[in-house]
Amino acid sequence: MTSSRKPTTPRRQIDRDQSGRWFGLRIGLPLTIFVIVILGGSAGYRIIQPQYSALEALYMTVITVATVGYREIHPPSEATMVWTILIVLTGLISGAVLITLVASSLIEGEVRRIFGRRHLERKIQNLSNHVVICGYGMLGQNVALELAAAGKPVVVVDPDQDRTELADRAGLLYLRADAQEEDTLRDAGLERASALVAALPTDAANVFVTLTACAVNPRVSVIVRAQGPSSVGKLRRAGATRVICPSELGTSRMVDVILRPAVVDFVEMAQKGVELEMDQMVLSADSKLAGKTLRELELPRRVGAHVVAVRRANGETVYNPTSDLHPAPGDTLIFIGQRGASDAVQKLQAEQG
């Protein structure tokens, strides 16, 4: 179903920004006070006893705050003694507060990370009918964001920390692990997933992921990116449902733009749902839309959608079907219509199913 993507800020990103600001205030203020104590103490030594150089005054302040007990550089006057007492008190208090806050923040951050990880794992465990995307490179990112914008649940699997942090900032569920491991795919909920996208850097890795995915869930739809045409056959033999070769697609699209530009514009407009949109709908087992002829369904009149093809449950596809065709449960209707027709057909299915 076609849907427009709205520019929103993920909730997880908002929480991270707020926690970052809180951490800065929590540590920044005590650190500022501690620095002021050091600089103020050094300035005080120079004012009280001018014979102190800047370095000597700083030295006296540091050893006083650190309570290491080194000797004074110059014999202290009574005013210097009083000033030293004040520095000891303020320095110990501000330093203790700073160290405590830094330690507690580090501990809290680690605890938050652990609980956040467990919360993420629980959310993945509760998913079903989602898409597992193996590899969060450029292709994986585009696929994940498009699916998320369409409302499809996504779990990203990638061993690279930088890439999983990108997925996290995009508000996506993720696993930082090797997608070629069977346990990783099980943790990603592949047994409950509707599809897996293999977009790893090499064809060999994609073949291994395909074999592993088919072993974990033989019913899952596996869509694989092939680096070159020579790998398409191998990936299909490994069990891939669909093999996408970007180089071939790019070549075909460029040729179509030259030879059939109006057709390309029409298809792109339908895919984007600007004025027209194309979509598909699988008839459920209890759908009242099943068993009727296309003439009886009256989709053009009722929702403004025209059925251009019907893919039977056995895999046979009927193009440009006649009005006498009877769609059966499990068949997929492929239709095109005005913007909003896709939602209308889905709503009609829900109402009559």
pLDDT tens string, the chain, 353 residues long: the values are 444 344 344 444 434 444 455 555 567 777 787 888 888 888 888 888 888 888 888 888 888 777 776 677 777 777 878 887 888 788 778 877 777 777 776 666 655 665 556 777 888 888 899 999 999 999 999 999 999 988 899 999 999 999 998 998 898 999 999 999 999 999 999 999 999 999 999 999 999 999 999 999 999 999 999 988 888 889 999 999 999 988 777 788 788 788 878 777 777 766 665 567 788 888 887 777 787 888 888 888 888 888 889 988 888 888 888 888 888 888 888 888 877 777 788 777 766 54
Residue 15, pLDDT score: 46
Residue 315, pLDDT score: 82
Residue 337, pLDDT score: 83
Residue 25, pLDDT score: 59
Query: Quick check: 129 and 192 in contact, CB under 8 A?
Result: yes
CA gap 190, 100 in Å, rounded: 44
Query: Quick check: 132 and 196 in contact, CB under 8 A?
Result: yes
CA gap 349, 353 in Å, rounded: 5
The pTM for the full model equals 0.58
DSSP character string of 43-62: HHHHHH-TTS-HHHHHHHHH
Query: Quick check: 308 and 332 in contact, CB under 8 A?
Result: no
Residue 158, pLDDT score: 95
DSSP character string of 173-215: EEE-S-TTSHHHHHHTTGGG-SEEEE--SSHHHHHHHHHHHHH
Residue 110, pLDDT score: 58
Residue 113, pLDDT score: 61
Strand partners, 307: 335
Domains contained in the chain, CATH given: 11-124 (1.10.287.70), 127-250 (3.40.50.720), 274-352 (3.30.70.1450)
